[in-house]
Amino acid sequence: MPTSGQTKNLLAKFNNVLKEETSCRDKISKLERKSIEITTKNFIHSSLIQKRIKQRKWKGLAETAGHKKKQLLDTINELIALNRNKSKLAEKKAVLLKPYQEVLSKPVSKQKNWAAAKDSLRDALKKNKKKPGEIKRYIDFLERFDYKKTSKVSERIIQNYHERIEAGFDRLLSAFAKEYFAHMAALVNMNELQSKTTGQIKSINKQALKLSEESFITLKKLLNSKPAQQQKTLASTYRKADAMLSKLLPVALSLYKQSISNKFTIAPLDDISIENGMVIRDLFLVLLTTKKMEFLVSNPHSKMYADWQDAGKTTTLQSKEPKAKSATIERLIKQGNKYNNTLISVKGKITRIKINHKFNKAISYAFITDGMREVRITLPHIKMDSGGMVPGSYAKVTGKWLQKNKESYNRPSLALDRVSYTTLAKSHWKSWVCLQMNKVYEPNPHSLNITHSWKPGANGAINQIKYSLI
């Protein structure tokens, strides 16, 4: 047990930490109000984005989204820094209180020499001219005081505070995601990006796929590394993803130009365009996840951090998603019975999408071609083009092949599959990340089991913004 002199010195230090913590909390509250103001304005700004998409004013959209993106990123980084500082102050408090854990573990009335201390305290209060009633209330309060019980109440208050800050951070990150995505789409739609040769397209796509795979591995491992290393790794991962996305956008535009020259026939690089669309969306998820994880590691004592850390330990990089059989459109038409009621994947170009109402529900129909034949894809309740797969997109779609599909007037069609991230997240790291980030961004909106090219224009990749899916 520390001496009275040591206690006095400690109390002075503790008081200074409390002052710093109060100042930090005030700054966070001020930033929280600023965040609400920014996200509210961003909600209003969304109507301007929709207007510019409708009017195809891509340069104006690129400028405003680029400015908003930077403003939001600065606010996000500021909140992360403040949260990190507050966490360090909480650690300082715990260190200062450590010598007193034995005393604090028992209620005051059960402390050694409490009877003598009570008499001494009563005498001191009398000398300070306190009234008998005041002295009794003060002594009664101390006798009832239990630090452990009080701490539990404080912990609940702190937990609620952290949950509120976490929710505010997610709103900021969602607003940032919208501006970043709109900025990317606008840059491609301006049609000013330098075209890439076939060799460059293949090389950049290969680098991007490798970076995406390595990034998910890095994010999985870093939660068990030292805090200083975590910050450094996350900053590096963000920069790499950001730089690679800038390289991938001209590739997306080049692939699209090559694809439209072939109309609805299959172009030589269409397979690569699927990879390109997928890796753009995956690296964008990586980029947003690094910011989410920066916020998490800024407070390593939070429940959310513990959940992510646990997921990093218990999940694997191998998905247990049911494997689909690969099929061609020609085989589905000629040997449909062979694939009936089977989960299959098929590639082709989307020729048209329409929405009908049947049995009091909306059903999306898409038609996919290999250049000569086409088959139908069905999806109830959801607009199939909302995620960016539209006529002209080259896509790989997965679902159950039905020779007689009621939702397709008993005609053969592919019932589009939806990925169960809730189930897969129990064992698969990337699925866990997708599930945790789905309020901020989904690479495949509505969990549709599709991958497709990045299509420019007012009806294409930007549909995720148009349909408010980001």
Residue finishing a domain among 92, 127, 145: 145
Residue 167: per-residue pLDDT: 79
Residue 299 lies in a domain: no
Domain annotation covers residue 116: yes
> Per residue in 411-440, pLDDT tens?
999 999 999 999 999 999 999 999 999 999
Least reliable range by pLDDT among 63-77, 219-233, 327-341, 354-368? 354-368
Among 98, 126, 145, identify where a domain stops: 145
Q: Is residue 264 part of a domain?
A: no
**CA 467 to CA 282: how far, in whole Å?**
20
Residue at which a domain ends, from 90, 119, 145: 145
> Is 136 within the bounds of a domain?
yes
Q: How many CB atoms lie within 10 A of CB 259?
A: 23
| In a domain? residue 63 | no
Q: What is the pLDDT of residue 379?
A: 93
pLDDT score, position 1: 45
Q: Is the distance from CB of 351 to CB of 339 less than 8 angstroms?
A: no
- What total of structural domains would you count in the chain? 2
pLDDT of residue 214: 97
The most confident of 190-194, 280-284, 370-374, by mean pLDDT: 280-284
Give the residue numbers spanning the domain of 139: 111-145
For residue 403, tell me if it sits in a domain: yes
Quote the pTM value. 0.84
State both tokens at 281.
């969306």
| Residue 157 pLDDT grade (very low, low, confident, very high; cuts 50, 70, 90) | low
- What's the pLDDT at 30? 73
Per-residue DSSP letters for 261-299?
Answer: TTTTSPPTTHHHHHHHHHHHHHHHHHHHHHHHHHHHHTS
Angle between helix 303-314 and 429-437 (nearest 10): 150
What DSSP designation does 327 have?
A: -
Mean pLDDT (whole number) for 201-222: 95
| Residue 380 domain flag | yes
354-363: average pLDDT: 79
Structure tokens at 81: 């820094």
Weakest mean pLDDT among 71-75, 101-105, 232-236, 312-316: 101-105
5-45: per-residue pLDDT in tens?
A: 554 565 566 567 667 767 767 777 777 676 667 666 665 56
Provide CB contacts within 8 A for 98, sequence distance 6+.
none
Query: For the residues 204-223, what does the mean pLDDT come to?
Result: 95
pLDDT attached to residue 2: 45
C-alpha–C-alpha distance, residues 7 and 466, integer Å: 62
Residue 104 confidence (pLDDT) above 60: no
Q: What is the CATH number of the domain that holds 392?
A: 2.40.50.140
Mean pLDDT for the stretch of residues 75-88: 85
375's tokens: 């088959």
pLDDT at 120: 75
In a domain, 372, yes or no: yes
Residue whose entry in the numeric block shows the structure tokens 């990925």: 419
Query: How is residue 37 written in tokens?
Result: 């103001």
